Amino acid sequence: MKQTFFRLFLFLSISIYSQTSEIKFIDTSISIDGKLEESVWDTLPENTNFYNYLPTDVGLAKNQTSVKIFHNGEYLYVSATYFDSTEETQVSTLKRDVSIAFSDAFVMIVDTQNQEQSGYFFAVNSLGNQTDGLVSRVNDSYNLSFSWNTIWQSEAILNGNKKQYEIAIPLKALNFNKENNIFGIQFYIRDIKNNSWTILKNVKRNYANLNLRFTEKFLIVNLPEKSNSRFTATPSLTANYQNDVINNVDDTAFKASLDVQYNLTSSLKMDATINPDFSQIDVDQQVTNLTRFSVFFPEQRNFFLENSDLFSNLGVDGINPFYSRRVGANSDIQFGLKLSGNISPKTRIGVLNVQTDEAAAVASQNFGTLVLEQQLSKNFVTTAFFINRQQTDNFDFVNDYNRVTGINLNYKSNNNRWIGLANYGKSLNDGISGDNNFYNAGIWFNKRGLEWNASIKNVGKNYITDVGFTPRLYNYDAINDLVVREGYT
């Protein structure tokens, strides 16, 4: 009996270990030129046998890809060789941070916490153009934002029928925890010439290729305890010159700004900003709104982007108690402080405090948010939050406030077919009480050939979220030019 148990234990141990690939530590540096001529690449195991994802998701890909990866404690190095059937290539643009859907490209998604909540997106097209972004969970799916940027190296060359990619990602740009040395990684290839997508970890096309639940697990050997660079400061100066031609008056104003990022640990970051103007941010895409509800625009300001899923994923679609675009929308931000990341392998925290300035008839406001996310088990994750908007007079609080608190519970099944979500929220306002709750319960099922979901939600008419996004709670009456607040189920 003991011998049988030992054999079973040994078999399970070997099976579990065999399912985790390794990213070796090699104390060397290489030149990122796409040629893959360094001897270190010959010593590494290859990750291959890519599967078809689109237009068909059946079987192994005809045109295969070989990916090799290692780190030296400072950079994560990746090489990829796509064995194309032709020497030709096709790209749609050389602009940075645009979708690679219409170009030949290599894509890498990295879930450094292996919690299937958020990750990093890196892509290089066949002419060497870079795209990076953040992947974050939104209810039953995942969202990709191109607003996040970091500095990394890449090169791509055309070598006959082979498309060769070489990448170096600084580890200091990634949030990771030494105690949690398993990364979830997905690689895929886009070949626009034959309209195909191929992928390392087999994912059926009814799931998004961004889905962090389907990643290959890589054990990082000798993962460094902390990044080499812990402190980054970005000062800036904005000059504004105005000429009043009628009164012949010139006016020049200067505004100094400072952005600071400090890595308390490799997985916990503190961001601070003073007098930001965000002038480097792209303008929003123009939208013609023919509905009676507000339009959602994504956040693009750098200060709010790091670990943004902690703050932006506190509700459900159309009922979100925190929408960072509200902060600083009516007046300039004086200063802001944010602490976000992992304090343990299964615990994430987000603390945000921003003070805005007084402007004309707009009073100064203080915005504060506290979020705690805890992974209870492999299947359950819970999130608790508290959001506060309070009018201020210099450093004194005025009795004009809006506060929202709540708790969320997420469930996912072992086979990734079932997803469940339960939410409860309550708002507190000065002078308003009653009918101020929100609750939601939803379930999703997804497998090839069958997808369905069911949910119920209730929003009280006094569930007021001054810093949130609840468009259907506010109905615009165009005839009487009034906005009517009405709850719904």
pLDDT over 70 at 1, yes or no: no
pLDDT at 12 over 50: no
- pTM of the full structure: 0.81
pLDDT the model gives residue 483: 81
463, exposed or middle or buried, with CB in 10 Å at 0-12, 13-18, 19+?
buried
Task: Answer whether 97's CB lies under 8 Å from 105's CB.
Answer: no
- 237 with 154, same domain? no
Identify residue 290 by its one-letter amino acid code: L
Q: What is the mean pLDDT of the chain?
A: 88
Residues 206, 297 share a domain: no
Sign of CA dihedral 210, 214, 215, 219: positive
Report CA-CA distances (Å) from 343 to 163, 270, 356, 444, 452. Answer: 41, 12, 29, 30, 36
Last residue of a domain, one of 220, 251, 282: 220
Rounded-to-integer distance, Cα 194 and Cα 189, Å = 12
Whether residues 378 and 442 share a domain: the answer is: yes
Among 150-154, 227-231, 239-243, 290-294, which is the least confidently predicted range? 227-231
Q: Which of 188, 220, 252 is the last residue of a domain?
A: 220
pLDDT score of 180 more than 90: no
What is the residue range of 424's domain?
A: 231-265+267-485
Looking at the structure of the chain, the number of domains it has is 2
CATH number at residue 26: 2.60.40.1190
152 and 254 both lie in a single domain: no
Q: Is pLDDT of 458 > 90?
A: yes
Judge whether residue 17 has pLDDT over 50. Answer: no
Q: Is residue 54 part of a domain?
A: yes
Both 149 and 201 in a single domain?
yes
Looking at 163, 193, 220, which one is the last position of a domain? 220
Judge whether 1 lies within some domain: no
Same-domain status, 306 and 211: no
Q: What is the pLDDT of residue 158?
A: 96
Token readout for 281 is 């941010």
Indicate whether 62 belongs to any domain: yes
Residue-wise pLDDT tens digits, 99-154: 889 999 999 999 998 988 899 999 999 999 999 999 988 877 888 888 888 899 99
Q: How confident is the model at residue 11 (pLDDT cuts 50, 70, 90)?
A: very low
Residue 225 placed within a domain: no
pLDDT tops 50 at residue 4: no
Say yes or no to pLDDT of 312 above 50: yes
Residue (of 322, 329, 282, 331) closest to 302 by Cα position: 282
Q: What is the pLDDT of residue 282?
A: 76
